[in-house]
């Protein structure tokens, strides 16, 4: 005996722990310890315990044999009684060991299952928490994005005003309103005018982007808009640029009259100009061909060029708000900003149309296709 | 308040096995003195488990030889005292009857029964005396 302790009551321990007492079993509760190791993992009542059934059976057998031993005479009968006693003990021993193993294994399985469930719940809680945090962060980013766009819009308005007045005054000087000017100064003023116009164009494009991103209405659709005159205007404006580069720019006239569409003529012209201008920039030899196709209630405008082509990676971000140009594009035209196609795609979408590009790869030209509903 | 003590269950079971075997030997050899010896040893153990020689033999020698690393368990002192006193009394009654030549058969059957129950308790963990103690505790509590 190790030591004597005076203990008031054993504190309640969890099942499986060294001082666990099964409150449902009157025997363990009364004795205040578990009589067998398997009782550590048991929550059954005493009458449901397999071992108690064995105990009752063996006690009854013992009593019967006890009585029989008085009634039966002879050594053999005594030997039989003793053999039965021995069998009961041996059976009990093996029964006890096997049930212990089974109960311990079941308990271990149960514990593992509970641990897994707890882990899963813990993970679920974590995922929920992270999702909440992400949603919150996303909301904040959306607000910041909107604030940025509002700021950009306001800034661009303030930029446009002085630029417009600059161009106005330049036009007046060029027209001779402030007196005759020498050819040398005229040339300088012309270059100044060109730069100012380019700057105004950039500011307008940035303004359009801000409006698109804020979800504002950028186009005012008109019905029965004819396309041919718009194309003629664009070709007239860009013919000089293409001729300077030594590439052709041709329009394949349709065999039948082109149908009218619902469009904002000004914005539609900007979208088409951007696409064709883009093709001119990235074509060094050959040229650009514009074709038309009339499909089932849809009009397709196809701009095919023999330019640098588009790789698969660049195709993914072509019309997105990621203002990154492809590597090949940067080699050919170093000063571009990459926003022209984005604006064109937004304008075409606002016209209830679709725009996409096709290319066989780098150096194999590209085809831009615009599909619009016929009004 | 319950008085408890820490005992090594295996050592206790070992001592019970020895007593059971001795009781069986006493039964087969019809030797009442052996029965008396066991009875006295059990009665002495009522006062403390410290007086159990076979317990100490297992604890100090056999445990180390067998490299037994089992932990001690808490048992009520009264429960141990009850079981020892019950077994000791029954064996003493058996001795008395066999010594006095009255109800000799009954006496030896009683000794056999006690031996069987001691071995049952040691090998299977089912102690009838402990159960009787628990029952009587419940009855007298009410």
pLDDT (tens digit per residue) in A83-120: 888 888 888 888 888 888 888 888 888 889 989 999 99
Are B124 and A26 inside 8 Å of each other by CB? no
Chain A contact present for B57, CB below 8 A: no
CA-based nearest residue in chain A for residue B5: A4
Q: Strand A248-251 vs strand A287-295: parallel, antiparallel, or unpaired?
A: parallel
What is the per-residue pLDDT for A223? 87
Are A2 and B6 inside 8 Å of each other by CB? yes
Task: Measure the CA–CA gap between A214 and A211, rounded to whole angstroms.
Answer: 5
| φ and ψ of B65, to 5 deg | -65, -40
Are A7 and B106 inside 8 Å of each other by CB? no
Neighbours of A199 (CB within 10 A): 15
Q: Which residues contact A137 (CB under 8 A, 6 or more apart)?
A: none
Neighbours of A187 (CB within 10 A): 11
Closest-CA residue to A315 (of A274, A354, A360, A372): A360
Are B134 and A58 inside 8 Å of each other by CB? no
| ipTM, interface predicted TM-score of the complex | 0.76
The residue count for chain B? 142
| Span A319-367, pLDDT tens digits | 876 555 556 556 555 555 567 888 899 899 989 999 999 998 888 899 9
CA-based nearest residue in chain B for residue A10: B2
Are A89 and B124 inside 8 Å of each other by CB? yes
Q: Give, as one character, the DSSP assignment of residue A1.
A: -
What is the DSSP annotation of B25-42?
HHHHHT-HHHHHHHHHHH
Chain B contact present for A95, CB below 8 A: yes
Are A69 and B112 inside 8 Å of each other by CB? yes
Residues of A in contact with B73 (CB under 8 A): 33
CA-based nearest residue in chain B for residue A98: B124
Chain A contact present for B76, CB below 8 A: yes
Chain B contact present for A3, CB below 8 A: yes
Chain B contact present for A115, CB below 8 A: no
Q: Give, as one character, the DSSP assignment of residue A3.
A: -
Closest-CA residue to A261 (of A189, A359, A347, A163): A347
Closest-CA residue to A5 (of B81, B51, B7): B7
Are B112 and A8 inside 8 Å of each other by CB? no
Distance from the B100 Cα atom to the nearest Cα atom in chain A, whole angstroms: 19
Q: Which residues contact B8 (CB under 8 A, 6 or more apart)?
A: B55, B58, B59, B63, B70, B72, B73
Q: Give, as one character, the DSSP assignment of residue B60.
A: I
Q: Strand A287-295 vs strand B73-76: parallel, antiparallel, or unpaired?
A: unpaired
| Span B90-142, pLDDT tens digits | 999 999 999 998 888 889 889 988 998 899 888 888 788 888 888 888 888 75
């Amino acid at each position: 005996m190790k030591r004597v302790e005076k203990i008031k009551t054993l504190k309640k321990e969890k099942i499986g722990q060294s001082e666990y007492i099964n409150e449902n079993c009157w025997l363990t509760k009364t004795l205040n310890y578990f009589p067998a190791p398997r009782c550590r993992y048991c929550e059954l009542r005493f009458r449901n315990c397999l071992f108690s059934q064995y105990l009752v059976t063996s006690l009854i057998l013992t009593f019967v044999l006890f009585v029989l031993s008085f009634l039966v005479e002879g050594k053999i009968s005594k030997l039989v009684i003793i053999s039965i006693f021995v069998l009961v003990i041996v059976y009990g021993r093996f029964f006890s060991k096997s049930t212990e193993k089974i109960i311990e294994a079941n308990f271990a399985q149960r514990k593992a299952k509970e641990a897994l469930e707890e882990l899963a719940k813990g993970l679920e809680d974590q995922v929920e928490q992270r999702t909440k945090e992400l949603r919150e962060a996303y909301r904040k980013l959306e607000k910041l994005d909107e604030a940025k766009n509002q700021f950009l819009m306001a800034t661009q308005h303030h930029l446009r005003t002085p630029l417009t007045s600059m161009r106005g005054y330049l036009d007046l000087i060029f027209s001779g309103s402030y007196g005759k000017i020498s050819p040398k100064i005229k040339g300088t003023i012309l270059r100044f005018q060109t730069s100012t116009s380019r700057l105004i164009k950039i500011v307008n494009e940035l303004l359009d982007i801000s409006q698109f991103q804020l979800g504002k209405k950028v186009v005012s659709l008109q019905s029965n808009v004819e396309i041919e005159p718009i194309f003629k205007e664009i070709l007239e404006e860009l013919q000089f640029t293409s001729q300077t580069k030594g590439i052709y720019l041709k329009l394949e006239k349709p065999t039948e009259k082109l149908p009218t569409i619902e469009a904002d003529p000004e914005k539609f012209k900007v979208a088409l100009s951007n696409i064709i201008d883009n093709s001119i920039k990235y074509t060094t030899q050959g040229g650009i061909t514009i074709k038309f196709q009339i499909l089932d209630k849809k009009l397709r405008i196809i701009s095919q060029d023999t330019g640098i082509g588009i790789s698969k990676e660049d195709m993914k971000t072509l019309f997105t708000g990621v203002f990154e140009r492809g590597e090949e594009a940067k080699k050919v035209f170093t000063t571009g900003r990459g926003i022209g196609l984005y604006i064109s795609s937004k304008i075409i979408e606002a016209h209830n149309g679709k725009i996409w590009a096709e290319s066989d790869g780098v150096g194999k030209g590209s085809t831009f296709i615009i599909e619009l509903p016929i009004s | 308040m319950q008085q408890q003590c820490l005992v090594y269950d295996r050592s206790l079971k070992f001592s019970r096995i020895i007593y059971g075997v001795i009781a069986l030997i006493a039964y087969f050899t019809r030797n009442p003195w052996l029965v008396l010896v066991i009875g006295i040893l059990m009665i002495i153990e009522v006062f403390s488990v410290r007086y159990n020689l076979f317990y100490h033999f297992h604890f100090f020698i056999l445990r180390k030889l067998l490299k037994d690393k089992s932990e001690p368990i808490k048992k009520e002192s009264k429960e141990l005292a009850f079981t020892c006193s019950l077994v000791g009394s029954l064996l003493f009654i058996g001795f008395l009857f066999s010594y006095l030549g009255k109800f000799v058969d009954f006496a030896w059957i009683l000794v056999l029964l006690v031996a069987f129950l001691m071995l049952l308790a040691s090998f299977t963990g089912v102690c009838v005396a402990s159960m009787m103690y628990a029952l009587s505790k419940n009855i007298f509590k009410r």
